[in-house]
Structure 1
Amino acid sequence: MALPEPTVAIAAIWVLFILLIAWVVNRFANGEAEIVRKIVHIGTGNVILLAWWLNIPASVGIIASILASVITLLSYRFPILPGINSVGRQSLGTFFYSLSFGILIAWFWYLQQPQYAALGILVMTWGDGLAALIGQRFGKHKYKVSGVQKSWEGSLTMMFVSYLITNLILIGTQGNSWQAWLISLFVAVVATALEAFSFLGIDNLTVPLGSAALAFFLTQLVF
């Protein structure tokens, strides 16, 4: 059997490294499951950058997404990923997160525009991840959307991080222009609105897909 390509091996090593860190934290974090989930959430999301920069084949990303989606679904019933999914937990967020990778890679690798896949995933990875951590620790001004409690501190964090990520990617690929700054603002507002509606973790699918799609279509429109 042929050895995996170096680019695939690098991505696999990165994911395993993040999972190892999550295991260590889960082992010694005294039940702080949310810390473990966010370490994995933020850490694994950055694999999309490796896939983009190293030009990993779309087929590899899609297959990895399918496998991860199946494993996460099973983990809701069996303790496959302790600390990341709790058995019986009323959220499909981890599954939606895995699924979003495959959809975005299939879509934007086909269009030869991988930067938009990276944009969508990173908005979710860093925006939602930091919003949750800031909101839980410093969120004093609460509001509810469809019965899910959020904080204005967390939502503002989501908007700021989404804007920063979108702007950096668009400037890096399209050049510094007023269009890039304006598109980034639209994406940040929409991503924040989508993140606020997080019933059953659906934001882990709607945020990356919505952010990537909006950035792509607006870029085609104004550039």
Structure 2
Amino acid sequence: MTDAATTTATGRPLAVVVLVGEAEHGDPWHALDQTGRRAAEVIADELGQAVSVRLARTSDDAETLLDGADVAVLDVSGDLAEPETDSSALVDALSAHLSAGRGLLALHSSAIAFRDDPRWAALLGGRWVPGVTMHPQIGHALVQTSGVVGAPPESDFVLYDERYTHLETDEGVEVLAFHTEDGIAHPLVWRAEAPGRGRVAYDALGHGVESFDSAKHRALLAALVRWVAS
């Protein structure tokens, strides 16, 4: 798996859509409007004129919300205390996006989202498992690199964030970063590619806007966008 240039084959800027969860695709614990906006700002700042970034919301028309997007960045969630809702239209849109060879990057609580539709976990390469997955108290966290040659992050770093623990991951994903809890390594960042579809990456960091105060996390986010864009 190699990295990629940022602009498209035609030389135009990459079109990035940051999809922010609302209502049933949010939860009481994550300020997705704030973190989604901050992620969009980071991508624009880190990649500059090589990208154009716009925000979309899960309440937008699912059939058109990813129109023209080279990369979809998801900052969505779901409330495990509430009944499941029909997410099929949104997952249809994401599936079509990937089938067209375009990239997808999901952030933090997106591993909880769309739990009524098993296609989402299959696309993402993992999921939050109710009753199993958890996180220690939020605080300063050591993110450890897996040391994949040519892949981010290049070195370990510390930031203020949650550390998702006991996430379920598919065998086919390539883990790029992890944290250690009770002597066990828990994946935090992974990527995956499969024939006939676009690339996918997941970054479990980003609980709050302060996560993006870390220069290493900002660089990681930009690198993942570049990778899924190829």
TM-score by structure 1 length?
Answer: 0.31
Greater strand share, structure number: 2
Bigger RCO of structures 1 and 2 (CA < 8 A, at least 6 apart): 2
Greater helix share, structure number: 1
TM-score by structure 2 length?
Answer: 0.31
